[in-house]
Homo-oligomer: A and B are copies of this chain.
């Protein structure tokens, strides 16, 4: 569908991005050489530099695509959940259960850590990405409060910050150990936290 509407060069460009994404995500910007990209795509120098002016531009395109994938896999089909608390828990569950949209862990966090020195472009992109995510989660809380499902004294921004921080941190720990333990712990504890935030304290 989407591919059909693209010119040949556009398809190649897209293929480069998708095949380079896990490399940058795993190895970082400095650790991923253009030769790695060539090997992964089967192209030669000329074939890649036609589509991207340089490594930085490629990395930016890769991050933009990875971000889009991350947003999609974490939000698709989550609107239909009715209750606010349930919706937040669904967001958490989705994050915990769905494997990273790009091999090598969450591209948001990886890029945040990788680009916190230098590379202002990527840094700006990733900052905006996290800001958007925090805003979206915060809005879920706000809606829950407005709907009377969540206690009035809940602070949406703080709840959002904590959920996102714990999830990302938990993902790092889980990846390091190669199991789901830390992420599972985070899911459980965040779940309990959300339950205690219900308006009337009734537990389901």
Contact A164 B173 (CB under 8 A): yes
Q: Are B173 and A161 in contact (CB under 8 A)?
A: yes
Q: Given A104-B117, A109-B172, A117-B26, answer yes or no on A165-B177 (Cβ-Cβ < 8 Å).
A: no
Once the chains are docked, how many angstroms separate the CA of A80 from the CA of B155? 33
A70 at the interface (CB under 8 A from B): no
User: Is A110 close to B, CB under 8 A?
Assistant: yes
Residue among B169, B181, B193 making CB contact with A168, cutoff 8 Å: B169
A158 within 8 A of B: yes
The complex places the Cα of A29 from the Cα of B164 at a distance, in Å, of: 27
Where chain A touches its partner, the secondary structure class is helix
Specify which of B159, B182, B193 is in contact with A161 (CB 8 Å cutoff): B182
Across the interface, name the chain B residue whose C-beta is closest to A29: B31
A28 contacts the other chain (Cβ, under 8 Å)?
yes
The answer to whether B31 and A176 have CB atoms under 8 Å apart is no
Chain B residues near A170 (CB-CB < 8 A): 161-162, 165, 169
